[in-house]
């Protein structure tokens, strides 16, 4: 299996009203880019796993386990370009598989 695609895991933290300064603080974003393999989840399999036919779900496979928390994922280029939220995460001993759903 080739890990030729790239995915950005983006975590947003902070932001909101700061009572110490009396100002609104901007949220900070952290981006973590990883090599991955991206494929689609077929309609039949999507119905079996999630019970829905009208959602676009992609499967992202990483070579190493990914344990950090993230707000959303971004595929910067290619056929699956766009932002995705996590639908399900499967952790194996040697790798991690994400089921990601597109954000409209």
Is 72 or 42 the better-scoring residue by pLDDT?
A: 72
Contact 61, 37 (CB under 8 A): yes
List domains and CATH numbers for the chain: 5-102 (2.40.10.270)
pLDDT, tens digit (0-9, with 9 covering 90-100), for 51-70: 776 677 899 999 999 989 99
| Strand duo 28-40 + 72-75: pairing | unpaired
pLDDT, tens digit (0-9, with 9 covering 90-100), for 38-48: 998 877 777 77
80 Cβ neighbours under 8 A, 6+ residues apart: 5, 38, 40, 58
Find which of 6-15, 40-49, 88-97 is predicted with most confidence, using mean pLDDT: 6-15
Q: Which long-range contacts (CB under 8 A, 24 or more apart) does 23-30 make?
A: none
């Amino acid at each position: 299996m080739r890990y030729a695609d790239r995915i950005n895991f983006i975590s947003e933290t902070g932001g909101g009203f700061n009572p110490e300064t009396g100002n609104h603080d901007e949220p900070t974003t952290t981006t973590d880019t990883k090599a991955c393999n991206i494929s689609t989840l077929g309609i039949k399999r999507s119905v079996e796993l999630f019970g829905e036919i009208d959602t676009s779900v992609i499967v992202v496979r990483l070579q190493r386990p990914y344990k950090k928390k993230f707000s959303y994922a971004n595929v910067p280029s290619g056929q699956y370009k766009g932002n995705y939220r996590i639908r399900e995460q499967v952790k194996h001993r040697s790798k991690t598989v994400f089921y990601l759903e597109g954000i409209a």
